[in-house]
Amino acid sequence: MREYLVTFHKTVPDDTGHDHRVLQQQAVVTARSDIAAAFAAKAMLCEACGVVDWRMRADTCEVAELTRQAA
């Protein structure tokens, strides 16, 4: 199994009309693939926020594999 960092952002406009990506949540997930990690993190976000669809709290979901450093 591999470890992935899954990051959720929401795009919001500021008072001048410019869009900014705001970090909503990050999770380190152990999974067999990046797709499985995204699925697990989306479920975690829904449970933590009490929503049925992760897109109610975020616009994007990005998955990055974490590499282990040799000791």
| pLDDT tens digits, 11-39 | 999 899 899 999 999 999 999 999 999 99
Question: In angstroms, rounded to a whole number, what is the distance separating the alpha carbons of residues 60 and 24?
Answer: 10
Question: In angstroms, rounded to a whole number, what is the distance separating the alpha carbons of residues 49 and 45?
Answer: 6
For residue 18, tell me if it sits in a domain: yes
CATH number at residue 41: 3.10.20
What global pTM score does this model have? 0.86
For residue 70, tell me if it sits in a domain: no
Taking residues 47-67, report their average pLDDT: 95
Domain containing 11 equals: 2-65
For residue 71, tell me if it sits in a domain: no
Q: Report phi then psi at 51, rounded to 5.
A: -120, 160
- Where does the chain show beta strands of DSSP type E? 2-13, 19-31, 60-65
Q: How many domains, in total, are found in the chain?
A: 1
